[in-house]
Amino acid sequence: MTTDRTARLAALHAHLDEVLDLPAHERDERIAALRAADAPLAAELERMLAAEAGLDARRFLEERLEPLTSRRDPTGQELGGYTIERQLGHGGMGTVWLARRSDGRFEGRAAVKLLYLSLVDPAGARRFRREGTVLARLSHPNVARMLDAGVTDGGQPYLVLECVDGERIDDYCDRLRLPPEARIRLFLDVLAAVSHAHANLVVHRDIKPSNILVTGDGTVKLLDFGVARLLDAQAGPDGSFADSGARALTPDFAAPEQLTGEVGTTAIDVYALGVLLYLLLSGSHPTAGSAETRSDRFRHLLEAEPPPLSTAVRADAAAARGKPAAALGRLYAGDLDSILARALQKRPADRYPGVDAFADDLRRYLQSEPVHARPTTVTYRAGRFLRRHRASLAAGAVAALLVTAGATTIWRQLLAARRERDAAVEQARRSDRLTASLLLQAAQGAAGHAGSDRATLDRADSLAVRGGDAALEARVACALAGWHAARGDLDSSRVELTRARGLAAALPAATAGEYPGCDVPGAATAPSAPAADSSR
């Protein structure tokens, strides 16, 4: 009987692939051909396929089996001052529950996330709590607050988050048929939230529409800030940072460098935000391809240049944006094309140096001022100027302006361009410094000197040098000294320590006072390491 069944299944399986995707009439033809050769099998195949519609209706195998004991139900449990009321949903990271303040003093609801145990290492519980406290300090009207993070006595890691009653940003925009300008204004609120987090050294790393809700009164709320970081706090003692980063990653919104396993920086958020804006404005994904396998998809993400926004507007998406696709294309051509192209650059260094620069350009676009993402040419600037003042300029005045756009105008524009360039350089250096300090934190965070990752430290080092921050460079040098010492390479350790001391000595006295000393156990106790002794 079993072998019977198996043999029949095998025969059916062999034909299933051929007919499954065929349109009805071709499927019938194929089955008719099979009938000539093996009538009973053809009949069986037909019966099997005919049942498909019924399977959906009966939800055959659709309800997942999930054994839940009634005792296991967390309803009524108290976590971080909140009592769990009912389940809201479940996702890739865990289950989400609605909770209410236990003390009843305030009218307050919260969402409690119970993370899957496999995502966190129980040994890292203390660190999890500490990181949670850092994130709880993020306070911005557009960031859903993390109220508490911890681990229960039973070892279950949990997050208590501000409960946001809202709609996904893309659904919200489409439902209200928001025109492009309104979408950009909403997106600027998203940028404000991310900027606040970056200023507090928190990178989101998983920005996507389902993490951005719009509430009934039109307020944008970013969810899950720092959750990726909390999971990173659990990174293994081998400093497997890239691996844990990949875990929290949503491939469609991941920056190329995330896919190649590089460490998370603010540039990752800039990229994901670019993908988001591209989607909001055009309705399509910048690197959407027909790639079948994951590696194809990754390669596509790494190599394919996104088509200009103005060419990506889907006809069916245009209606929800209040204009025909062709009109949207014309609107997007030019500045918005350049802005999106800049945000979606493959190389992090080619993107906007930070979300503020991104926001600045979008604001300039909305005000018809020249955007930075475009090469500055006189005709372009004049074009912007004309557009901005179109209403107030009589035709004659325009003609006069064009004639007198002589030496002084060009000189002034050169000066402006130089100022902008200097500002951009300074912004890039600031971003380098921020990245370097994040890297240093990441490298040291996991398990002290011994566990820190050499490649991460090297990258932090070169960014600290490029960012021109001697104090930071000194701290990186200390970390490198520790890395070498932990591996018994005391000569290299001493070289780094000497560099650190030299840098520290050159710092202004006030800064040097705060300068954290090198804590390098191996080097300090080694008799042949006098440099380490004197740094104590």
Partner 1 sequence: MDGAIGDLIRTAASGDDAAVTALFTTLYRELHRIAERELHRGGSQLTLGTTTLLHETYLNIAEREGIQFATRPQFLAYAARAMRGLMIDYVRHQRAQKRGGEFHITSSGAEAAPAAVPAESLEELGAAIEALSQVNPALAQLVDLHFFCGFSFAEVAELRGVSERTVQRDWRKARLLLHHALAPDEV
Residue 66 contacts partner 1 per CB under 8 A = yes
23 near partner 1 (CB under 8 A): no
Residue 73 lies near partner 1 (rule: CB under 8 A): yes
Does 88 participate in binding partner 1 (rule CB under 8 A)? yes
Q: Is residue 536 part of the contact set for partner 1 (CB under 8 A)?
A: no
Question: Which is nearest to 268 in space by CA: 176, 346, 320?
Answer: 346
Q: Any contact of residue 104 with partner 1 (CB under 8 A)?
A: no
Query: How far out from the chain centre does Cα 89 lie?
Result: 22
- The CA distance from 441 to 433, in Å, is 12
Q: Which of 134, 188, 291, 512 binds partner 1 (CB under 8 A)?
A: 291
d(CA 518, CA 374): 45
Contact in structure between 94 and 116 (CB atoms under 8 Å): yes
Dist. CA 6–CA 443, nearest whole Å: 54
Give yes or no: 206 in active site.
yes
DSSP H or E stretch at residue 90: strand 82-90
Site for partner 1 in 367-406 (CB under 8 A): none
Which helix (H) or strand (E) covers residue 399, if one does? helix 395-404
Query: Which one of 174, 189, 206, 232 is the catalytic residue?
Result: 206
The tokens describing 464, both together, are: 């600290």
Beta bridge partners of 115: 94
Query: Closest separation between CB of residue 248 and partner 1, Å?
Result: 12
Q: Establish if 44 lies at the interface with partner 1 (CB under 8 A).
A: yes
Report the nearest approach of partner 1 to the CB of residue 428 (Å): 35
User: Token pair of 11, please?
Assistant: 């025969």
The closest of 312, 309, 313 to 342, measured between CA atoms, is 309
Q: What is the DSSP letter of 305?
A: P
By CB under 8 A, tell whether 39 contacts partner 1. Answer: no
Task: Give the footprint of partner 1 on residues 122-181 (CB under 8 A).
Answer: 152-154, 156
Closest separation between CB of residue 86 and partner 1, Å? 7
Which of the ranges 74-82, 140-148, 337-345, 414-422 carries the binding residues for partner 1, by CB under 8 A? 74-82
Residue 43 within binding range of partner 1, rule CB under 8 A = no
Q: Which residue number, 248 or 318, has a Cβ lying nearer to partner 1?
A: 248
- Binding of partner 1 by 64 (CB under 8 A): yes
**Mapping DSSP to helix (H, G, I), strand (E, B) and coil, where does residue 110 land?**
strand
24 counts as binding partner 1 under rule CB under 8 A: no
86 vs 330 by CB, closer to partner 1: 86
In this structure, what are the phi and psi dihedrals at residue 220, rounded to the nearest 5 degrees? -80, 135
Residue 303 contacts by C-beta under 8 Å, 6 or more apart in sequence? none
Residues that bind partner 1 (CB under 8 A): 2, 5-6, 8-10, 12-13, 16-17, 20-21, 44, 47-52, 55, 60-61, 63-77, 86-90, 92, 95, 114, 116-119, 152-154, 156, 243, 291-295, 297
Q: Which residues are catalytic?
A: 206
